[in-house]
Amino acid sequence: MAKKVSYLDNLAKEVGQTASAWKKAFNQSADITPGANARARAANKNYDAQKGQVFGALLQGRRYDDKTGKQIKAKNK
């Protein structure tokens, strides 16, 4: 049985993931080694996705899977 996650726990998790994605995007954007542009684009794309997830969690109480990033639907009983 899955552990029930509260709204604030979920929001804290999403904020933490967004902060981590921002840090990675920031560091990749400052990189000057060969292939840096592709890595920076990928990191920025991930950061944009994480921003969407944190706003979804904040405004609509949505939950997202950590590995796939897909929204977790509530089970109807």
The tens digit of pLDDT for each residue in 31-55 reads 899 999 999 999 999 999 999 999 9
Residue 17: strand pairing partners: none
Tell me the pLDDT band of 71, cut-offs 50, 70 and 90: confident
Compute the distance between CA of residue 64 and CA of residue 49 in angstroms, rounded to an integer. 11
Q: Mind spelling out the 3-state secondary structure of 15-55?
A: HHHHHHHHHHHHHHHCCCCCCHHHHHHHHHHHHHHHHHHHH
pTM of the full structure = 0.79
